[in-house]
Structure 1
Amino acid sequence: MVGMVHDAFGIPNIDDAETGNSSESTQVFGPNEETKSFFNLIKDAEQPLYPGCEKFTQLSFIVRMLSFKVMSGWTDKSFTLLLELLIEAFPEGVRLPNSYYKANKMTTDLDFTYKTWDACPNHCMLFKNENKDIGECVICHASRYKEDDSNDPNTSKNTIANKNGGKRVAAKQVRYFPLKARLKRLFMSSKTSSLVTWHVKERIDDGVLRHPADSQAWKAFDTKNSSFASEIRNVRLGLATDGFNIFRNMSLVHSTWPVVLMCYNLPPWLFMKQPFFILSTLIDGKYGPGDKLDVFMQPLIEELKELWNEGVFTYDASTNEMFKLHAALLWTISDFPAYAYLSGWSTKGKFACPCSNI
């Protein structure tokens, strides 16, 4: 875990930060206060679990325990009780939070988190913003929550709620992993930040197609958006999605949809590797979103618009400076049926071919 954190977040020397001016605009050297706070959190979380411990840091141990909690269905209270027991059992000076809230807050502060929204079971809308407190879909009026399927007239509609500690269970949910934080982490490591500029600094431009930057689409985009292309650290993204059965049973009807992003700035031998996949959205089964996939991608679309129009201040560890990062989505990758959901073009019946329109 320590090695993973170092590789992902390589911590530079933040004591030599200084500010200077360029002829065109103010250039800020060194990390800003927000970035410094993040590095301090990482530094603190990487301390040994207790004096002399070599196998675990505070962060690695908490992450392992939180994963066990999810896989084994522990309650928040049982997790807190276990932490209290471990604090008593471990040697003096153990670095453990004494409650689930504090343990979870540690991962939240480090941006190891996601947002969850309930969704209409018929895929009409998300229950967010002004609709976060309503109980049924404003379009089809379907219930937001699972209802008891029993035919027994004496069975209460709240049976499912009673089985889940009084909490009603959403009929469908979507989980969104914020994109800006993930892109900023690419630049906080001196190793990965230098790789993001490979497409300009190290790519051989001899007319041979070896990298997406050699394609006509990439070059046409740069010509049309010269201000975006002028900053070589701006990120070009590809998006891939498809449904799959998480239970590995082809006879069971189920379709969970992950939406994954790839950073095409990276060298061609890296941008399709798992460590650089960016999981953006996870749409719960049991049924796929179909042609209403755009409903579940609203959070991603909003963030992509913000990254395109406004950008986000990011610390570049390779140059020890802050800069305004922008991002653009260039391509989508999918099979032919999913192409229809992503593009809005019907891939069956009349005019099924998007290339020839026949």
Structure 2
Amino acid sequence: MGVSEFIGAASKHVDTLGRTRCPCKRCNNRNFKKLEIVADDITRNGMVETYTTWIHHGESFDIGSTRHQPRQPTVAPETEGLEDDMTDMLGDMLRASSGNAPVIEGSTTPNYSNLTDLNDKLARLIRDANLPLYPGCKDFSRLSFVMKLLNNKLVTNSTDKAFNMNLDLVKKALPVGETLPSSFYEVKRYMEDLGFGYTTIDACPYHCVLYRGPLESAKSCPKCNESRYIPGKQNNVAQKKARYFPLKDRLQRLYMTKEDAKDMRWHKDLRVDDDTLRHPADGKTWKRFDEEHSWFSADPRNVRLALLSDGFNPFGNMSNSYSMWPVVLTPYNLPPWKCMTEPYFILAVLILGEKSPGNNIHVYLEPLIEILRELWEDGVSTYDAHSNETFRLHAALLWTINDFPAYGMLSGWSTKGRLACPVCNSETCYERLDFSHKECYMGHRRCLAV
């Protein structure tokens, strides 16, 4: 097929500025250029030889296709029969990163600055999805077997040591030429490539500050002067840490598959709007928010979030003092039978430590608040697999879900004393006990209006 035929096909997949990716040997699909410049570059430099399926110019992608050979040609013929659970997932990830879809009106051209790194990660995943577990294996690829091992580790709560022992045993049992990673350290790279990584930020043990930004290199807390690191440790081990998980990637992943992308519009397209309260979209908060922020509600794909948080002891031993605080977000665009299920809980922050953050929990929420503010004001360019287009995804936090003590921590309202009830305020029914000098709440029950 000649240059003119390629340009004819590529002309149907240009961005709002009339540009498309240039597949010449110098650009290698990294640069966006006008069609006439692309034609000149291909004529002058030639097209990349491995670019046989035009995934950036309209052709569909098939991981199992023989036109996509892995980097090791010796195992390519053996991968043709692999039926892998990873196929659909990687295909969706590739389509989402390819940038083929036109940008809808009112949005800006998608940002492709990180696309090269993303495609490198996808290339590694696709290569390992096509790489058999051992020569002649038709049931597992390297990637699918590793994912199943990770799933077993999660379900059984296995330790890293147990995982490494099982991995070593399986490697010894497999035939010569097996491709299994040698340690859990190598396996964790798959989690990072799939977007399941996290960022760790050190914190003051008394919950004063996070060591980030101008305090990133600080050795002690500027407020209480407490040391950042455990005294006596040579490797600078922080006394307290918090882990932050990529919220934007998780929200974008909701639109990466056609089924989930369609369900994210359920509240607008399929919800029955009557006087029955079946879903948060039927409530006053949702409707009032839509009235006050019509620009947000104009696109039903914008995400409404609820924040959940509470402390728990992960060891199940009450004599062992430890309080771990997860901060979880859940998207309420989904239908009722999906929005409160485990696969759609988004872990945003994990506060580690023996003591509860108490009223200083807002210190740990600062990075999350910054991301939520960015999602509200600027949004993020997101590929919608259902409509096959790129749009600007915005998000809003509408609710918090917690018990009463956690309510006081998250809201800043004191849930103790004479004004403990945030609704009744000064009309809170209380009585101070003479001997214990504590506040009790006699006659606190209230009846709902008929």
Q: Which bracket does the TM-score occupy, shorter chain normalised?
A: 0.7 to 0.9
Which of 137, 143, 155 matches 1:58?
Answer: 143
Is 1:119 aligned with 2:203?
yes
**C-alpha contact (below 8 Å) 1:259/1:280 kept by paired residues:** yes
Which of 192, 217, 223 matches 1:108?
Answer: 192
Cα deviation, residue 20, structure 1: 5.2
* 2:126 corresponding residue in structure 1: 43
Which of 335, 360, 364 matches 1:267?
Answer: 335
* 2:392 corresponding residue in structure 1: 324
Which of 198, 209, 212 matches 1:128?
Answer: 212
- Measure, in 2, the Cα distance between the counterparts of 1:17 and 1:146: 47
Taking a change above 3 Å as real, the CA distance of residues 13 and 100 of structure 1, as seen in their structure-2 partners, is closer
For 1:262-301, list aligned pairs within 5 A: 262-301=330-369
**C-alpha contact (below 8 Å) 1:197/1:266 kept by paired residues:** yes
* 1:11 corresponding residue in structure 2: 92
Q: Deviations over 1:229-281 (max 9, x none)?
A: 10110000001101111111123322111111111000011111111111111
Q: Deviations over 1:68-107 (max 9, x none)?
A: 9x95455xxx97x998998797546544457877544333
Structure 1 counterpart SS, 2:192: helix
Which of 388, 410, 413 matches 1:345?
Answer: 413
- Measure, in 1, the Cα distance between the counterparts of 2:309 and 2:366: 15
Q: What letter matches 1:46 in structure 2?
A: A
Structure 1 counterpart SS, 2:348: strand
* 1:154 corresponding residue in structure 2: none
Q: What letter matches 2:205 in structure 1?
A: P
Taking a change above 3 Å as real, the CA distance of residues 207 and 136 of structure 1, as seen in their structure-2 partners, is same
Which of 204, 207, 230 matches 1:146?
Answer: 230
- Percent identity for Structure 1 against Structure 2: 44
Structure 2 counterpart SS, 1:227: helix
Cα deviation, residue 52, structure 1: 0.9
Q: Deviations over 1:112-138 (max 9, x none)?
A: 101111110000011112212211111
**C-alpha contact (below 8 Å) 2:383/2:391 kept by paired residues:** yes
Moved more, 313-322 or 53-62: 53-62
Is 1:222 aligned with 2:305?
no
* 1:193 corresponding residue in structure 2: 261
Moved more, 10-19 or 304-313: 10-19
Taking a change above 3 Å as real, the CA distance of residues 270 and 199 of structure 1, as seen in their structure-2 partners, is same
**C-alpha contact (below 8 Å) 2:102/2:390 kept by paired residues:** no
**C-alpha contact (below 8 Å) 1:20/1:26 kept by paired residues:** no
- Measure, in 2, the Cα distance between the counterparts of 1:319 and 1:105: 32
Cα deviation, residue 184, structure 1: 0.8
- Measure, in 1, the Cα distance between the counterparts of 2:319 and 2:101: 62
- Measure, in 2, the Cα distance between the counterparts of 1:222 and 1:228: 7
Structure 1 counterpart SS, 2:338: coil
Q: What letter matches 1:43 in structure 2?
A: I
**C-alpha contact (below 8 Å) 2:307/2:400 kept by paired residues:** yes
Which of 251, 254, 257 matches 2:322?
Answer: 254
Q: What letter matches 1:134 in structure 2?
A: A
* 2:437 corresponding residue in structure 1: none
- Measure, in 1, the Cα distance between the counterparts of 2:238 and 2:158: 20
Structure label with greater radius of gyration: 2
- Measure, in 1, the Cα distance between the counterparts of 2:121 and 2:364: 30
Cα RMSD of the aligned pairs, angstroms, is 3.5
* 2:239 corresponding residue in structure 1: 171
- Measure, in 2, the Cα distance between the counterparts of 1:23 and 1:308: 19
Taking a change above 3 Å as real, the CA distance of residues 293 and 23 of structure 1, as seen in their structure-2 partners, is closer
**TM-score, with length taken from structure 1:** 0.80
Unaligned residue ranges in structure 1 (runs of 5+)? 148-157
Q: Deviations over 1:191-223 (max 9, x none)?
A: 111111111111000121110000000001011
- Measure, in 2, the Cα distance between the counterparts of 1:292 and 1:357: 23
Cα deviation, residue 19, structure 1: 5.5
* 1:313 corresponding residue in structure 2: 381
* 1:151 corresponding residue in structure 2: none
**C-alpha contact (below 8 Å) 1:10/1:189 kept by paired residues:** no
Cα deviation, residue 46, structure 1: 2.9
**C-alpha contact (below 8 Å) 2:382/2:391 kept by paired residues:** yes
Query: How many residues are matched?
Result: 333
Cα deviation, residue 308, structure 1: 0.6
Higher relative contact order (CA 8 A, sep 6+): 1
Q: What letter matches 1:11 in structure 2?
A: D
Q: What letter matches 1:313 in structure 2?
A: S
**C-alpha contact (below 8 Å) 2:102/2:389 kept by paired residues:** no
- Measure, in 2, the Cα distance between the counterparts of 1:354 and 1:339: 10
Structure 1 counterpart SS, 2:383: strand
Cα deviation, residue 339, structure 1: 0.3
- Measure, in 2, the Cα distance between the counterparts of 1:276 and 1:123: 30
